[in-house]
Structure 1
């Protein structure tokens, strides 16, 4: 968890270096980001549903429950990545609103020179959500390919078990 927070802070600081208060720039980012992230989320959800369908079909055979234990860490990672991706989509929708109206009951500090301008901070938050989203998309695709690479081994194991006679069959 601490490692993840440190990575997130590093990404935010890098995005802060590339942020701008230019209205045309952040308007462009704010108008494009939710649509792109939403369609990527939809595509990834469709791909994951295909993988789940294949896993469920393979799991319908006897003796595969223990084999699926191998996939638990991948599936948990996939679940967490999808939740964070949804949060990034929510951030990309909420940040333009907060830029316009501000955060209720809070005033943005302007008394120090080391705090960046309000629009630059919001642009950095938007860029951070974009960077995190793309990193998560790469992670989800990697996990999907690992699951796909492991499926032939499960299918072959199931076919071998179905073809080999059991002890009760050989005694008859």
Structure 2
């Protein structure tokens, strides 16, 4: 009987030891696209607030240092300093408000694409309506604009 009890005890201890050494795999939480869209909309609110306050630096800080801005009627601008200068020019020209509407966001936990529309105001008058595609990159837990391209919904003016 002692021999059987010893075998059972050794088997039991071996089993406990085996299962206690098993490491749990930590599953990465599933990427939450709806949450990411909310974060993108919050970042867009920073831009809208920047126009309301005349803060081109705050707007530019939503971009990566090496971001590229591609707007209709101008060459591509590379770098946050150049992008800040573009937004400063818009504000100095009288743009006092923009409304950004995110239509759709897709991508992964590192890079997202967003398409949407922008309404541009001088005082309370609508002076522009545009559509855009923005590529966002997550850096240090924050979404930053990597590429920004927009074009006007207004018909092109014929050249003389």
TM (norm. structure 2) is 0.24
Bigger RCO of structures 1 and 2 (CA < 8 A, at least 6 apart): 1
Q: Greater helix share, 1 or 2?
A: 1
TM (norm. structure 1) is 0.23
Greater CA radius of gyration, 1 or 2? 2
